[in-house]
Structures are given as C-alpha cells and as structure tokens.
Structure 1
Amino acid sequence: MCTPDTMDLIERLLAIPGKNTRRLIINLYCFKYRGVVEWDGMAFEKMNNLKRLIIESGSFTTGPKHLPNSLRVLEWWDYPSPSLPIDFHPKKLVKLELLAFCNCENLIKIHESVGFLDKLKILYADGCSKLTSFPPIKLTSLEELKLSYCGSLECFPKILGKMENVTSLDIKNTPIKELPSSIQNLTQLQRIKLKNGGIIQLPSSIFGMKELRYFIVKKCEGLLLSKENEGEAQMTSMVFRNPIDFLDLSHSNISGEFLLRGLPLFANVKELHLRGDDFTILPACIKELQFLKEIYFEVCENLKKIRGIPPNLEILCELHEADGYKLFRLPGPSIPEWFEHCINGSSISFWFRNKFPVISLSCVFVGLELYAGVWFTLIINGNKYLSPHIFLADLSSDLLCICDHIEELFYDLVLSENEWNHVVCTTSWVPQPIKQIGIHVLKQGSNMEDIQFTNPLLLKEKRDFHNLPTWRKKKSLVFVSSRNDF
C-alpha cells in the first residue's frame, strides 16, 4: 500500500550502495489509502535500472518530472499529469503491445510518436474527458482502438497507411463530428458503432469498404452526407456493391432528406432500423433496396407516409403504437406477399380461439377521388361491430392502407370461450369499392395455432373421415355415389 511516505522510502532505498545496480520492479497498490500522496515528482530520477512500474490506484499532488528510460512496463492508473516527462524516451519499449490512457482526466494531447508504435496491438484512451486531439496513426499491428467517453474529442484520428487487423470500432459518448476519408485504410473493418455522439458527417470512402457489414449510429444528434461527396459515394457504392447488410440509425434525428439521398447508397442492406427517428415520409427509393428483408421503425411519431415497399420485404416491424392502432398509407396496386391471407374484394374471414389475435388489416383502394372515408365492420359469431369512420385524403392513385392493431377499433367484443370464433371483416369505402383485402398476424401478440383461415370444423371432419376404417370409407362412398345416380 502506498502512503505519503512511500516515495521517500523508495528514495532512501535507492541511496543504499549497490541497490541501483540491480533490476528493479515496483508495484504500488493504493486502494486502501484515500488521501493524497504528496511528492515532488522526482522519486524515479535515480532509478536507472527500473524495469517495471505499476501504480494501480492513488491520488498524487503532481505528475512525475522524470521516468527512467530503462522501463519495459509502465502502467499508471489515474495518471496525474496531462503529459509524460519531456526527457522520457523509453527505447526498451520497442515491443510495446498495449498502451492505455484510460480515465486520464487531465490528458489534453497525446504525443505524435504514439501514432507510429508499429508493435502496438491495443490502444485505449477511454474516459479522457479533456482530450481534444488525437495524432494521426500508422499502427500496422493494432487490433483494438477505444475512444469512448472522451467528451472533448471531436475528430477521429487520420489513418496514414493500411491497418489490416482492426475489425471493429465501438465509440460511445464521444462527440466525433466527422469520420475521415482515410478510414478506408482500416481494410478489414467489419463493424462501426457510434453511440451517444454529435452530428456525424460520413465520408464517401466508407461506401467502398469491402469488409464492412454492420453500420450502427444510435442516439446521436444527426447524420450528414457531404453534398460534395454524394456523387462520388454513389459511384463508389455502385462499383464496389457496398456490402453493409445491417444498418441501424435509431434515435439519431434522421431526416427524410438524408433517407432520400442516403438509402440508395446502402444497396445491399438486409436489415434496417429507424426507431425513434424524425422523418415524416419513408421515400420511394426504399423500393430500390432489393435485398432488404426487415424494417423496424417503432416510436417514429412523425411518420405519415410510406411511399414504397422493397420487393423482398419479410418483416415490417412494428407498425403499431403501444396505446392503439395506427394507419399506414403506401402507394401500390396489391397487398404485400408477407400477409398470411388475402383475397380480391372487400370482405375476408378467419377463425380464432381463446383471445382475439393481434392483426393488421390491409386494403387496396382504387384511386378515383381526392377525398374519401373508410370504416370496418366485424361480425363475430353473428354479432356485428362497427369501427369509427377514418378519413383519407389524396387518393388520386391506387392506395394500399395497412391498419395495425385492428382490434383497438372495437370495444366490448363478445367471444365464445374455449371454442372457435368465426370472424368476418368487411371494409366499406365511400364512394368507391375496394379492390383487395388481406390479414397479417403480428406473431408477438398472437398464438398462430389459435388462428385459422379455413373452417377448422371442416378440417376436423376431414381428419375424422380419413381416420375411419377402410370398410366404412367404402360404404360412405357407395352411398354418395348411389344418391348421385338416383
């Protein structure tokens, strides 16, 4: 344990003849001492054979004014100075593989030499709240780089040459404003995650990174695409077929303008998350994303229109709000293939048991009028229920409407317990007829075994018939045949 007398003790030991000729290792554990260690920073001046210095805790009045160049290992938690001593040139650290500045709250700048430690594999600078700049780096052996919780750092370091061992960047609570174009020198980078940051501008080079699969920007103030680089990014994306297949831009103030310009650049995306963003219209260019299978935009309170559906979409989740139904309007002449059941006309039926399923109802309206209204009628076991009138506008072309959580439109439904309930859903539109109607079951709130789109009683009769003995089947067939002959 280190105390205020620890440094004086070390200095007295070093004054003993012969002590300075031996290999020295110092480990100071200051967890139990909560005071401030007072020293003048010169305790290590005469330790010319010090090989390893580890200080795992403790509060010091000042930083060291001298550190021995003989050091092979230097680990100092909560380092008390913004810089290392100017005469510290540890040539013995040529094989340095791990360098950590974690939680060095007084660290303002990192020396440029750190950027050229070609044996360095791990570089941590988490929690350096006053760090304002990071030197350019050419760390050919680097595998991990951590820059989270650096509240004053706005620039990601420039990458001066190819670095082929970094596969992931995960940066939280650091207000980086721009990723440099040189980020493409991280040639094996597969994942970028930026969380709780500022407004971030993307370089065009990011769309040419051949190994990048996951791009995540969550809870940031915004995302920008440079106008000057947009054309270049478009060309780069087309040439390299940008491989990003997971794109998460949730809660990052994503605007409709960014979606309009940016979505086409992610040509290979398969899963798209836009939860809690501010856009009002999902643009028609979404249809160009041929590989997109899943879209998530819960809590998008300002979303009004969806102007297209990707051709291979399987999941549109989640359409509903927690407190009731929501109506989505999309251009299109037909119901998406991922709806479990659809037919031509304005009426559709299904059977359920136990509780009413959580469903979305989809209708295709033939656009002839600018203004119209729609309502839904449910007939359950002969009992009729009418929904409120829903007003629609701008219907000059064919329109696909998806009404999510349809059950929220109706109250006091009378259901048969422990039996199959037959439901007929009819949609009425004033003044034009409805072209097509479909049902999609939201599996999260429903048991698929309790929903049927054909009469389960008839299915049971067929199963019972097939289970009859062979002689009874033949007798029944003869009886039917004799009636037809008669």
Structure 2
Amino acid sequence: MPYLKFIHLERLDCLESFPDVSGAPNIERLILKLCGNLVEVHESLGSLRKLAYLRISHCWKLEYLPPLIDMPLLETLDLSHCCNLKNFPKVCSGMEKLSNINLHNCPQLQKLPEELGSMVNLEELRLSFWDHSANQISCFNFHTLPKLFLRKLDLSCRQIEDQKFLNNLHAFSSLEELCLSGNSKLLHLPSSISHLSRLKHLELNECQQLRNIQGLPSGIQILKATDCRVLEEIEDLTEEYKQLAVDRRLSIWIPGSKIPSWFEHQHHGREIALKFPTNRHTNITGFVVCVVFRNEWPFKQTEIEDSTLSIIYIPIGDFWRQMQLYGLKPDDWSPLLEGRCCLNLNVVSSSIRVERCGAHIMYKEDTESVQQITTSISDYRDLEDKHFVDWFFWYRIEFKVMNIDL
C-alpha cells in the first residue's frame, strides 16, 4: 500500500499484533486507540520516516515498542494510558521536529533515553499519572531525565522523592508551565523553583503534605493549589507577584457558611441584584461573588463540613469582553451605567443547592481587598465559551440586565 497516508484503528479487541508496515512508507498519521488486546507492534513502525503524528493510547496489554524509532518528521508522540508499557525506544538524533511527548498514565515506565536531550524543539513532556493513590505506580528515575528546553512539564502524581532532582529545577530554565499535583512527598517548594524566570503557570493540587508555598518566580501568573489539606501559609503575593492579580479570575473554596460582611449585597437563595452607582461606574475593576452551598454529593467524606463557601473574583475585562461576544455594544448598556437598570446575578447549577449568595462591586481604590483576595488563589480558568456566563466547577454565574423603577 505505497499510497496509504492515514491509519486509525480504535476499539479493536480482536487486534493482538500490529503488522509489518514496511510496504507503506508514506504513512503520515497513525492512531491505535483502545485496542485492549494489542500485545506487540512490529519493529517496522519505528522506520516510518514520513510519520508526523503517532498515537498508541489505552492499549493496556502493550509492553514493548520497537527498540528504535527513526522518524525525522514526527512532531507528536502520544503513548498515554499504556499501563504496562515498560520501555521507551531509542530515538535517532535526526528527530528534531519532535515537540510533544505524552506518557500520561504509564506507571511502569521508569526512564527516558538520553537521546531526547538532543531534541531541540521538544516543548511539552507529560509524565503524569491519573491516580496518586494507586499502589502500582513506579517511582520515575529522574536521573535519566535529560536536560531539555521544555515549555511544559507535567509530573502529576509521580511521587518525587529525589531531592537532588527538585533542587536542580533550574536546569529547566525554559519552563513556562509546571505541574507537580498529587505529589504526597512534597512538603514545601524547592528553592530552585525561584530560578525558573519564565514560569507562568504552577499547579500543586492535591499535594496532601504541602505545608507552605514560598519562593515563587516573580513572573508567575497562574497558581493552583486545590485540596492541599495541611497547607498553612502562602507568602505575601501582593508586591512581587502582581501578575497574579492583573485581569485574572481568582477563586477561594473553604468550609463555612457565613458570607463576609464586606459583601454589601447579600440574599438568601441563588439570585441577587446589583445597581451601579451613577458617579463611580468608570472606576469599576470587577465583581466579587460569594456563594454558600450545601454539600450533598454521594462521595461526601465525614471530614467535609456541611456547607462550603466559594469566593470568586471576575475582572471587568472579562465582563466587557463577554458583552462584546454577546453582540452588545457599550451604548446598549447606558441605562445600566446610568443607574436606570440593575444587573441581576443568578447562580445556576443542577448539582449543588445554593443557600445564600453575596456580591461586591470592586473599584480601583479597593486595593486592600484585592490584596486579601490574591493571597489565597485556588483556580483560574481561561475564557473559552461565547455564552454570557462564567463557569466555576459545579455552577455558573449568569448576568442579566433588568429594568428597575426610578
């Protein structure tokens, strides 16, 4: 089949062996997905020199790949969810286009070849695991990790015990995004993390022994640290880390049922109305929304309190951008800005019961309140949809303009 370019084989439990493809040298894209009984791959796959995309994922019985891959045009290599994969093939030095490697949920894989260090365009490496509580996870041998000029490195749920590796993170000076979530061995951030001058995104979710967060790079923009149950201290983020509070959505989730008193607009239920002061609307920087909801999930644990308090900051930039995406122009909102209409805020959810909500309009002079909010950051989400709503976990915040009696 000399003219064959694409192969996509999915959910074929009858497939036990991927055959010799030396007669099809022009394959550009190859996908083997959810082939639960695939146990071997012919070594000729490693010599597809025109292959640009290779995905062998969710092939749970596959243990070995071809010993050598020589694919000078390969850009993406996805081997995720191959739970029994034990070897990573040797890589020829000419594979300079390789930019993305996903080895997510490959618990038996313990090392990478040193040849990856010559991959000058390799930007993303994902060595994460989906379940940090699973007993079958092998500790990754980080001594084998070559020096790479990565932009993104995901080590979620890899139990990093090697302090020497953690203390030499400055070897990854090009990193922009680092994920260390699910690491039960991490007690505090290594000092070397402060040397990652390009780091903008750091995830530390579910680090159950993490007690403090200090020494962050000054350029950090996104910090996620959800479900860190013994976390006691986060350093003052208001001075050096101003990028964290520039046009960013922030949220804090804590046990509790009392809305802070500085939310001057409070109401029982899921709906509340906000009125813009006529002489101050040009100084508005955003909205802070507080929601008290009842925990009624079937997986509720005894140590979780009955009610949870969620505080979310929505910058005014998001509000105006959504307004434009919704086809509305500033002139259409003059009744709101002039105080002749109010903004109706509605908490919409099918999975939680909202008991009470509150809102606060944030102004430029409210710098102290902004500082209080930015010292406890747990989630940030990019603006993705074109609906005039803002999604946060199990609920969304919906705005509507309502007429009011003057």
TM-score, L = length of structure 1: 0.46
> 1:180: how far off?
2.7
Identify the residue that residue 113 of structure 2 maps to in structure 1. Answer: 203
**CA distance change for structure 1 residues 254 and 158 in 2, over 3 Å: closer, same or farther?**
same
1:181 corresponds, among 84, 87, 90, to 90
Does residue 130 (structure 1) correspond to residue 40 (structure 2)? The answer is no
Contact 2:168 2:192 in 1 (8 A): no
Alignment of 1:213-252 (within 5 A): 213-220=123-130, 221=137, 224-225=140-141, 227=143, 229=144, 233=146, 237=147, 242-252=148-158
Per-residue Cα deviation, 1:125-158 (whole angstroms, up to 9, x for no partner) = 3233222232331111112322112111123333
Q: How many residues align?
A: 268
Match of 2:194 in 1: 287
1:169 maps to what in 2? 77
Distance in 2 separating the partners of 1:114 and 1:410: 63
Given the alignment of the two structures, is residue 268 of structure 1 paired with residue 174 of structure 2, yes or no? yes
Return the offset for 1:337.
0.8
Residues 85-484 of structure 1 aligned to structure 2 (within 5 Å): 93-111=1-19, 113-115=20-22, 117-136=24-43, 137-161=46-70, 163-175=71-83, 176-182=85-91, 185-200=94-109, 201-220=111-130, 221=137, 224-225=140-141, 227=143, 229=144, 233=146, 237=147, 242-255=148-161, 257=163, 259-260=165-166, 263-278=169-184, 279-306=186-213, 308-310=215-217, 312-315=218-221, 317-319=223-225, 321=227, 326-328=231-233, 337-339=240-242, 414-415=261-262, 417=264, 443=313, 449-450=362-363, 452-453=365-366
Structure 2 equivalent of residue 380 of structure 1: none
Change (3 A) 1:101 1:261: farther
CA contact (8 A) 1:294 1:313 kept: no
Amino acid at match of 1:337: E
Question: CA separation of 1:411/1:449 partners in 2, compared to 1, >3 Å: closer, same or farther?
Answer: closer
Deviations 1:316-340 (A, max 9, x none): 52346599x942266x9x9751159
CA spacing shift, 1:281–1:322, aligned 2, 3 Å: closer
CA spacing shift, 1:327–1:150, aligned 2, 3 Å: same
Q: Kindly tell me: are residues 184 and 339 of structure 1, through their superposed partners in 2, closer, same or farther at Cα, counting changes over 3 Å?
A: same
Do 1:287 and 1:309's aligned partners in 2 also have CA atoms closer than 8 Å? Answer: yes
Offset of residue 415 of structure 1: 4.6
**Shift of the alpha carbon at 1:179?**
2.3
Find the aligned partners of 1:340 and 1:120 in 2 and give their Cα distance: 45
1:36-47 paired onto structure 2 within 5 Å: none
| Contact residue 169 and residue 192 of structure 1 kept, 8 A | yes
Deviations 1:172-219 (A, max 9, x none): 321223323316553211212233321432223323311111222332
Q: Equivalents in 2 of 1:259, 1:204: separation in Å? A: 16
Query: 1:270 deviation in Å?
Result: 0.9
Contact 2:204-2:226 at 8 Å conserved across structures: no
When you count helix as a share of all residues, which structure comes out higher? 1
Q: Which amino acid in the other structure matches residue 195 of structure 1?
A: H
In structure 2, what is the Cα distance between the partners aligned to 1:417 and 1:442? 15
Structure 2 length normalisation: TM-score?
Answer: 0.53
Higher-Rg structure is 1
Query: Is the contact between residue 115 and residue 135 of structure 1 (CA under 8 Å) also seen in structure 2?
Result: no
Q: Percent of counterpart pairs with the same letter? A: 20
- Looking at structure 1, the residues matched to 183 and 226 of structure 2 have their Cα atoms a distance apart, in angstroms, of 15
Residue deviations 1:34-56 (CA, integer Å, cap 9, x gap): xxxxxxxxxxxxxxxxxxxxxxx
RMSD, aligned CA: 4.2
Letter in 2 for 1:225: N
Deviation per CA, 1:59-81: give whole Å up to 9, x if none. Answer: xxxxxxxxxxxxxxxxxxxxxxx
Match of 1:449, SS? strand
Specify which structure has the bigger relative contact order, considering alpha-carbon pairs within 8 angstroms and separated by 6 or more residues. Answer: 2
What is the CA–CA distance in structure 1 between the aligned matches of 2:52 and 2:2, rounded to whole Å? Answer: 17
For residues 68-109 of structure 1, the C-alpha deviation after alignment (integer angstroms, 9 at most, x for no partner) is xxxxxxxxxxxxxxxxxxxxxxxxx23333345543424333
Partner of 1:285: helix, strand, or coil? helix
Q: Structure 1: where are the runs of 5+ without partners?
A: 1-92, 342-356, 360-403, 421-440, 457-486
| Aligned partner of residue 286 in structure 1, secondary structure | helix
Change in 2 beyond 3 A, CA 1:416/1:339: same
